[in-house]
Each structure stands twice: as C-alpha cells, then as structure tokens.
Amino acid sequence: MEQREVMEEFGLEIKKQDIVYSDSRQSMMKPDQQSYFIVAKLPADFKSKIVFGNEGLEYLLITLDEYMNRNDAIKKSQDRVLKYLESL
C-alpha cells in the first residue's frame, strides 16, 4: 500500500503501525488495478500537521454520523466505512 496520496494531499505520514484496518477491491477507475481503503489511528494533534500539497484545497472534519448521513457523500465510500464498522 502506498502512503503517497495522504502525503501529497495532506502532508501527513501514515506509518504501518498506525493502520488498524485495510480493505482492497478492484478499482472503479482502473479495473486492472486494486483500490485501497485504509483506517489509521492518528495522534490527537494531527490537525495542526496538515499541509496541503498541490492537490488539496480544503478539508472538513465531521463526525462519523454526519458523514454516514450526508447526501453528497460517495456511496461506495460510505459502504466501505460501514464494512469497517461491522468488523469491529
């Protein structure tokens, strides 16, 4: 699994020991590749460490309930979060 996306978009380093859950499936955009969903435990001060790269514009921190009930959320991402929650 690559850390590149999180580093490029948010300037955050995710270490292997931070990962508490991962799931992979066929990519919707590139069917010949895998797509990964990762859940990581971050330190309490992670918000102060966010630095956008050339891709990030803004972020919004919301509760899990708010995300799962958003009409504008990506349904497949909500499904992945639900699968994670069911694994607990």
What is the per-residue DSSP string for 2-71? --HHHHHHH-----GGGEEEEEEEE-SS-TTSEEEEEEE---TTGGGG----SS--------HHHHHT-T
Torsion of CA 76, 5, 39, 75, to 10 degrees: -10
Residue 41 neighbours by CB under 8 Å, 6+ apart: 18, 20
Longest dimension (CA), the chain: 38
Segments of the chain scoring below 50 in pLDDT: 1
